[in-house]
């Protein structure tokens, strides 16, 4: 009767190699995953939170610029969700 530890050891080595390959793919996917927009617009009228690009947010702020500092929803501009002028809160995501 003879044991065969070599076969088991080879099996473990093979599994370790596969785990390392899976980790590499996971890191690649997480790196490619990007948020839809860097700026969040919270609308007080409809309650929606919309992701927009920095350029889009800047155009909205410059187009209809009514800004009241000190309020939680300090910007009045066109909401991208309900398409109406509303008090919104801009947050950098």
> Which residues inside 36-55 make contact with Zn ion, applying CB under 5 A?
43, 45-46
Residues 70-89, mask of contacts with Zn ion (x by CB under 5 A): ---------x-xx---x---
CB atoms within 10 A of CB 60: 20
Half-sphere exposure of 76 (CA within 13 A, CB side): 6
How far apart are the C-alpha atoms of 93 and 89, rounded to whole Å?
12
Taking the least distance from each CB to Zn ion, the nearer of 7 and 36 is: 36
Taking the least distance from each CB to Zn ion, the nearer of 40 and 46 is: 46
Whether 2 contacts 18, CB under 8 Å = no
Enumerate binding residues for Zn ion (CB under 5 A).
43, 45-46, 79, 81-82, 86
């Amino acid at each position: 009767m003879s044991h065969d530890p070599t076969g088991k050891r080879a099996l473990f080595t093979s599994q370790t190699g596969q785990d390392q390959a899976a980790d590499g793919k996971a890191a690649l996917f997480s790196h490619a995953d990007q948020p839809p927009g860097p700026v969040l617009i919270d609308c007080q009228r409809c309650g929606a939170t919309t992701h927009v690009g920095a350029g889009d947010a800047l155009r909205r702020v410059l187009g209809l610029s009514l800004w009241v500092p000190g309020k939680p929803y300090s910007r009045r501009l066109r909401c991208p969700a309900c398409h109406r002028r509303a008090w919104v809160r801009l947050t950098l995501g």
